[in-house]
């Protein structure tokens, strides 16, 4: 029928036109930022963008004297096929010099062959599984891993005289990492993990799990959940179902993340977490970061995701500096591996073996101040490497 033939031709014409509309000229240094900008994880996209834009603005719009072009691409949720297609286009068509971003482990894993073949240095702003950086020589990470922040917390808990702990984590990669990290270190320190509870990702009502935690008779609960509804739900359930009153201490890592922190209200006061970044960290670098963020991206919050992007941009800047704006993946990575600097989180460096960031991990307690709730750093565990990899 003529009808469908015409339809096909029209479709083809429109396809070709729309796909051709985006060829840009390549003089500035191009950075592709890939993250979830739509869908249920869109808040991460806001945080990434905030960190990226504010860093760029704080450097006067240029990095290492070079003009910069940033291309943002949506990866949606955990979607390795789609992320791979997006990154392939960034590398092959847009010819980006650097890549940054990535929240989810499968998305980062999927692009490893592309960046390896094209020698594109890629800075991971978030995806926290230890195994990722080993997948390609061109990965460098400025976030954290669960092992990195959990091992010192387990050691601290043991020193506090806590003998029996129950772990309650969300049933996904990072959660299981967290559970393994805590179990391994805590038992090494002589403690006992009485039960390991895995909470399905689809959980909405955490009351059942809180009841289970109560029933174990443990002295503390070590927990890890993804940010957003699960985190919010669990902490609320912890308070509303009387765990705090029953004397079961809270041991967390990312749960008191500044993005959700204010929502917990007074219930959160006193909760302890071990983590690598607090917005209340008292340093010049952090003050600069926060004011830059406020000026350029007021909708973003200073937290581990935005600081991951901020520090990631610093690393990219150093790589641009080392290659003088030219595209040289190997030279850039060599420069990245030797970096040491003062980040808003504290003193950090890139481990040349794992290409993961070595950083201080702090023990924090939630306190109420005139500006709302903050994570007050009460102890510094010192520089921690990624304990999830062999030294």
Contact present, 139 and 122 (Cβ < 8 Å)? yes
Q: Is 229 in the site for other proteins (CB under 8 A)?
A: yes
Q: Does 364 bind other proteins (CB under 8 A)?
A: no
CA distance 296 to 310: 13
Of 362, 336, 334, 361, nearest in space to 350 by CA: 336
Cβ-based nearer residue to other proteins, 245 or 371: 245
* Window of 86-94, 280-288, 311-319, 340-348 that interacts with other proteins by CB under 8 A: 86-94
N-terminal to C-terminal alpha carbon distance within the chain: 68
Assess 113 for contact with other proteins (CB under 8 A). yes
Are the C-beta atoms of residues 115 and 99 closer than 8 Å to each other?
A: yes
Assigned token pair, 32: 């592709």
Candidate segments 10-18, 184-192, 289-297, 313-321, binder of other proteins by CB under 8 A: 10-18
Beta bridge mates, 340: 349
Query: What's the CA gap between 364 and 273, in Å, rounded?
Result: 5
166 lies in the binding site for other proteins (CB under 8 A): no
If one asks whether residue 126 binds other proteins (CB under 8 A), the answer comes out as no
Q: Binding to other proteins by residue 10, rule CB under 8 A?
A: yes
Is 25 an interacting residue with respect to other proteins (CB under 8 A)? no
**Which residue in the block uniquely carries the two structure tokens 């003193």?**
347
Strand ranges, E, within 286-354: 340-343, 346-350
Please identify, using beta-carbon distances, which residue of 256 and 363 lies nearer to other proteins: 256
Q: Report, in Å, the least distance between residue 180 CB and other proteins.
A: 13
Residue among 200, 270, 298, 382 that touches other proteins (CB under 8 A): 200
91 binds other proteins (CB under 8 A): yes
d(C-alpha 312, C-alpha 232), whole Å? 27
Beta strand pairing call for 66-74 and 98-101 = unpaired
Interaction between residue 341 and other proteins (CB under 8 A):
no
**If binding is defined by CB under 8 A, does position 195 make contact with other proteins?**
no
DSSP 22: T
Interface residues for other proteins in 239-298 (CB under 8 A)? 240-242, 245, 259-260, 263
Q: Name which of 126 and 359 has its Cβ closer to other proteins.
A: 126
- Least distance to other proteins, CB of residue 230, Å: 9
SS3 65: coil
Structure token digits, residue 249: 């201490």
Which one among 171, 195, 328, 367 touches other proteins, defined by CB under 8 A? 171
Between residue 302 and residue 321, which ones bind other proteins under the rule CB under 8 A? Answer: none
The CA distances from residue 110 to 86, 119, 359, in Å, are: 11, 15, 27
Q: 77, 189, 288, 347: which one contacts other proteins (CB under 8 A)? A: 77
């Amino acid at each position: 029928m003529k009808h469908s033939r015409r339809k096909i031709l029209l479709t083809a014409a429109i396809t070709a036109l729309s796909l051709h509309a985006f060829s840009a000229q390549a003089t500035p240094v191009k950075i592709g930022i890939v993250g979830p900008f739509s869908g249920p994880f869109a808040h991460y996209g806001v945080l990434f963008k905030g960190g990226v834009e504010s860093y760029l603005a704080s450097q006067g719009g240029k990095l290492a004297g070079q003009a910069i072009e940033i291309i943002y691409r949506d990866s949606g949720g955990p979607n390795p096929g789609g992320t791979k297609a997006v990154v392939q286009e960034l590398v092959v068509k847009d010819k980006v010099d650097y890549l940054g971003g990535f929240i989810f482990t499968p998305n980062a894993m999927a692009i490893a062959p592309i960046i390896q073949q094209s020698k594109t240095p890629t800075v991971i702003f978030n995806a926290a599984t230890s195994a990722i950086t080993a997948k390609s020589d061109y990965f460098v990470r400025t976030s954290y891993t669960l092992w990195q922040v959990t091992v010192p917390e387990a050691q601290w808990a043991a020193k506090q005289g806590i003998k029996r702990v129950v772990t309650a984590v969300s049933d996904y990669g990072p959660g299981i990492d967290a559970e393994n990290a805590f179990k391994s270190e805590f038992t090494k320190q002589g403690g006992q993990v009485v039960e390991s509870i895995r909470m399905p990702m689809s959980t909405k009502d955490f009351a059942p799990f809180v009841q289970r935690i109560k029933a174990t008779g443990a002295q503390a609960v070590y927990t890890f959940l993804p940010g957003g509804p699960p985190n919010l739900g669990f902490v609320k359930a912890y308070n509303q179902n009387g765990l705090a009153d029953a004397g079961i201490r809270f041991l967390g890592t990312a749960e008191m993340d500044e993005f959700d922190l204010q929502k917990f209200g007074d219930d959160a006061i006193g909760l302890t977490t071990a983590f690598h970044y607090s917005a209340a960290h008292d340093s010049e670098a952090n003050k600069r970061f926060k004011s830059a963020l406020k000026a350029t991206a007021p909708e973003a919050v200073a937290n581990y995701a935005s600081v991951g992007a901020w520090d990631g941009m610093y690393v990219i800047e150093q790589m641009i500096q080392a290659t003088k704006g030219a595209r040289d993946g190997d030279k850039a990575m060599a420069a990245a591996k030797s970096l040491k600097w003062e980040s808003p989180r504290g003193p950090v460096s890139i481990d040349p073996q794992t290409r993961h960031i070595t950083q201080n991990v702090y023990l924090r307690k939630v306190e109420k101040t005139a500006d709302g709730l903050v994570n007050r750093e009460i102890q510094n565990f010192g520089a921690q490497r990624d304990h999830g990899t062999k030294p």
